[in-house]
Amino acid sequence: MLDKPGLYVHLPWCVRKCPYCDFNSHPLQDETSRTAYTDALLKEWACRAAGFSERPRFSSVFFGGGTPSLFQPESFAALLEVLPLQVGAEITLEANPGATEHADFAGYLDAGINRLSIGAQSFNNTSLQHLGRIHTAEEIRNTYHAAVAAGFENINVDLMWGLPKQTLDAALFDLESTISLCPAHISWYQLTIEPRTEFARRPPVLPLEEVLTDIETSGLAHLEASGYKRYEVSAFSRSKPCAHNLNYWRFGDYVGIGAGAHGKVRLDSETHRTENPRQPRLYLNDPSKQLVTTVTEADLKLEFMLNVLRLKDGVEFETFQSTTGLSWDRVARDWQSLVEAGFVRSDRCATTEFGYRYLDSVVGEFMPR
């Protein structure tokens, strides 16, 4: 049986694809697409559930996309009604301003969703236009306040920094605008240019390296002074860290359903990766189809470190064996070398403050050779 797994549900529809986005997202065509997709998710879950000798009880569910808030509460209620959930499970819905003007937030809450993640990205209307967002700063605030009025208490706000031509003052304005809403959680992450995106084909003018350094340093200090504890590279919380993402970073098990969804499960002493067809058309034709691969020992070591070292406090050494099935001896020599160099701690699987600034280099020591 899987140990306290999470469930990721991918809804690939959106109003329009943003130029920086490399997620599996496609413009929504009509209401029929939503109905057919909900039916496909139900069929896929029935297929996946039949494949487990003992059905897992999910500790968290994350509806990601795309823009899941394009779907009505009834779609989420239909799926949540058949899912085996632990008591108090965290159920997150991604909601994008510009697709929530008529959103039934009270209906989402009644359906079982108890956490929202609002994709703000910036509170500067010019920056929002450069990013291809379909909303304004005012619509971000309206969305947030509507969610609070409906009864949501656990809300995350997604915010990017290092935007095209962004100055230090502009970045701090975005951050202060977010903090002024008093969300329980803030995801503050740097814009990166991903392959196969519009920004990769037509690169925007990004801030100089010294400006990026100033933004990061000042932003981190401002978040800390405002009571937001940094518990992961890009995640900050006053009181409620994201349980679903913590499970990823602790290298826990998770099941993925929906077009292009990925999963990682440890069964029969092996770790398996799962991947669904990316194209919604192919997924709708056969929701049961899935590619399953076994993760090699070399990749297990790298993927474990790639995830857990993103956490500010890391994990206990025992977590390596419990999640990978491998003895700590398999990485002990490389770890000790990093201890002696001052990059990682000797008492747990975590970096030092110094090592956290050079995380990519630390993780690189566990690349397959």
Q: Are 199 and 19 in contact (CB under 8 A)?
A: yes
High-pLDDT (> 70) share of the chain, %: 99
DSSP per residue, 58-87: EEEEEEEES-GGGS-HHHHHHHHTTS-EEE
Per-residue pLDDT tens digits for 305-316? 999 999 999 999
Instruction: Tell me how far apart the alpha carbons of residues 193 and 198 are, in angstroms, rounded to a whole number.
Output: 9
Q: Return the SS3 of 1.
A: coil
Strands in 151-269 per DSSP E:
154-161, 185-190, 229-232, 235-237, 254-257, 262-267
Per-residue pLDDT tens digits for 126-153? 999 999 999 999 999 999 999 999 999 9
Interval 229-251 mean pLDDT: 96
Task: Determine if the pTM surpasses 0.85.
Answer: yes
The full set of domains in the chain, from first to last, is: 6-247 (3.20.20.70), 297-369 (1.10.10)
Q: Are 120 and 140 in contact (CB under 8 A)?
A: yes
Query: What pLDDT does 1 receive?
Result: 53
Residue 101 has pLDDT above 90, yes or no: no
Query: What pLDDT does 154 receive?
Result: 98
Question: Inter-axis angle of helices 209-225 and 168-179, to 10 degrees?
Answer: 20
Q: Return the SS3 of 206.
A: coil
Closest CA to 164 of 133, 118, 135, 196: 133
Residue 246 has pLDDT above 90, yes or no: yes
Residue 102: pLDDT band (50, 70, 90) is low
Instruction: Tell me how far apart the alpha carbons of residues 52 and 325 are, in angstroms, rounded to a whole number.
Output: 20
Per-residue pLDDT tens digits for 294-335? 999 999 999 999 999 999 999 999 999 999 999 999 999 999
Residue 44 has pLDDT above 70, yes or no: yes
254-263 b/e (C-beta count within 10 Å ≥ 16 → b)? bbbbbbbbeb
Q: Are 86 and 4 in contact (CB under 8 A)?
A: yes
Query: What pLDDT does 3 receive?
Result: 76
Alpha-helical (H) ranges within 121-242 are 125-130, 137-150, 168-179, 198-201, 209-225
Look-up of token digits 């009025």: 149
Per-residue pLDDT tens digits for 76-99? 999 999 999 999 999 999 999 987
Q: Which residues on adjacent β-strands are paired with residue 6?
A: 60, 254
Interval 7-32 mean pLDDT: 86
Q: Tell me, rounded to whole angstroms, the distance of Cα 220 from its chain centroid.
A: 20
Average pLDDT over the chain, rounded to an integer:
95
* CB-count exposure of residue 273 (10 Å: 0-12, 13-18, 19+): middle
- Which of the pair, 1 or 194, is modelled with greater confidence? 194
How many helical (H) and strand (E) elements, i.e. helices and strands, does the chain have?
A: 15, 14
Residue 115 has pLDDT above 90, yes or no: yes
Closest CA to 222 of 156, 168, 158, 166: 168
Q: Return the SS3 of 89.
A: strand
Closest CA to 155 of 163, 147, 165: 147
Q: What are phi and psi of 302, to 5 degrees?
A: -65, -45
Residue 125 has pLDDT above 90, yes or no: yes
Query: What pLDDT does 31 receive?
Result: 72
Residue 65 has pLDDT above 60, yes or no: yes
Could you give the C-alpha distances from 283 to 41, 169, 188, 289, 341, in angstroms and in order?
Answer: 10, 45, 32, 8, 48
Q: Hey, what amino acid is at 207?
A: P
Interval 261-287 mean pLDDT: 95
